[in-house]
Structure 1
Amino acid sequence: MTADGVRSRLGMSFLGICGMLLLYILFFSLEDQRPGHTPQPRPLSQGHPPQPHPPTVSFGGTLKPPTPDLPKPPPPPSEPPFIGDHYAQDDLEPLSNCSTGIWQRIMGTVFALEASLAALNSSASRRMCDDWATRGRGSACIRCAVVGNGGILRGSRRGQEIDQHHYVFRTNGAVIEGFEEDVGSRTSLYTFSTNTMRNSLVSYASVGYTGPPISEETRYVFLPDHDRDYLLLRAAVTHQPVDRGPERSKRPPTYFGEHVTAQKFKMYHPDFIRYLRNRFLRSSVLKTQYRDIYRPSTGAVMLLAALHTCDQVSAYGFMTPDYRKYSDHYYDNQFRPVGFFINHDLRLEMSLWQQLHQAGLIRLYMRP
């Protein structure tokens, strides 16, 4: 056979193979497009597009079908979205100018909690460290001491060290008188809810707690647990009685002093509390029947708020791994073990404090 004959035969074989490939592709294309047919999805490998196996041809010129893709197991279910991660913002313009609409009429009803927030109309209410311009005195960093009420502080003699910070945070039943050597004497920001403050007045009156600290520098930060907090806030700011609820009174509240001004009050946004729960303290309790009552402790909210506000944070009186050695509070008259309740996950909080300390993000006071 001549060379031209060989080339002619190879050319015919090549054209024949190409023709068979075209018929193969056309067949499957029509198979996917026929009426009533739903193409079957093909599994994707992680991070790469699907790689189809090409048809193979034997040395004898016979077209072989491609090796089929083996089905891959479905991916495991992903973590469900964090509840509350998409926070509401009322930044849309109203569709109408109705002067008698619901949003205008609600302000005169018992549902008008927003009226309480309207009382916080100064720039000071929008910042935790609202007086930094005068307090900082040229300092480049905001240094904060966050003081819990843990028994580890008793006998610590950390009072002077605490008071040397720019800001001192305290919470709930913070008994100061008689314990200044251990816990300091200043309070810049006092975090509480109406419920925790009232409970502290009952539970710790015998050891000297008479109410929130009162001083020129002290600011009061409400943790909104209930409408009671909004009602007490409005009454305190406007110097009017609480008009309903458990704190209903005939006189204006005096917990914060008789001449307290609106500039002294702040309130954590509920979205901030949800953010702390979801991103820092997402407890396994949220998978149980008690999920509706779980939230970070008041002390945890205070410490994490400081972490989001200050440049340097020192934490005192928070639970450490050797907590069994110390009473529940530094002001306890006799030893009381730490109590654990389902509405808080104190062990998870303790683990978080250790992680933040080891990462160098906070300086956690621990006994040697």
Structure 2
Amino acid sequence: MQIYPNRFEAELDKGLKPCYLLFGDEPQQKFSMIEAVREKARAQGFTERTVLVADSGFNWSQLIEATQSLSLFASQQIIELELPTGKPGTEGSQTLQSVAANLGNDILLLIHGPRIGKDVQKAKWFKVLDDTGIHSICYALEGNNLHTWIQQTMQKAGLNGDAACVRMIADMCEGNMLAAHQEIQKLSLVYAGQAITPEQVEAAIVDQSRFNVFQLVDVMLNGDRQRCIRMLYRLESEGIEPNILIWAFIREWQTLSQLHEVRSSGQPVQWMKFGIWKNRQGCYQSALNRLSAAHLVHIREALEQADFAFKQNTVERPYIKLAHLCMLFMGIELNGLTLMPDLH
């Protein structure tokens, strides 16, 4: 039976199932569900825990042995089996089908892994285990679903924040629910049981955001060339994936294009409509003052070419290309441009 992540704990409260199948590439939801199963199992006497990883050298007889033996100090056991590829293979499939019959009051099987497709969910081993238990697939949340999750996570942490606080956390941590959870936990250490303001959220997240993509974007929008290049070098040394920066640049181009359209129409800019807080409005004003419509068209074309090249893995020196893109946002012509040696 499938249960969505946001209803998983409520389902656990109804009682433990013999088997749980938890898959997906969104780590925060998956980890939360795994922890919830562990806690519920411990509370009900599953004091022995066996952890197995079914990698390429895994001997499936270990799983069979685990289901057939208990220590002298425990009468109930939780077995955690990680499938790194999401698929157990032929031998693993047969083994899982055979152990399904041994699951019950004394043995709880928790299987987890990365994102799986319909082919896996239709496999015989998956169906056999799902018939006796529960499966849940984790996907990164977006839009209203992400806002709802943030609000619920804040409430669990003892925080009371309005929609503006939720939106700020979502904007700063979009695509990274693990980071959002960490930010909320950090806020709860200081403001537990209190109503928090957007200014408090902003201050906490900014302190956490040093040398990350968001700070780079602000520096780029402000037009600080030398600092921008130094930060790019730092991000490269930390192993930040270039595609993350490309995503951020595309998002900023979209925002700047929308703001430029509003300003060109003679209407006042409603900053909050674009999710731009007061401390960042100056960055965008600086960028808009130096970038014309022609500049924005040029940036769009460069981003499209770069995005395609990165996806095709045809960029030999990604961070040099990223530096060029930053220069375009600063309104600097690339002809004859000499970059700082840090990036070479």
Q: TM-score, normalised by structure 1?
A: 0.21
Q: TM-score, normalised by structure 2?
A: 0.22
Larger radius of gyration between Structure 1 and Structure 2: 1
Greater share of residues in helix: 2
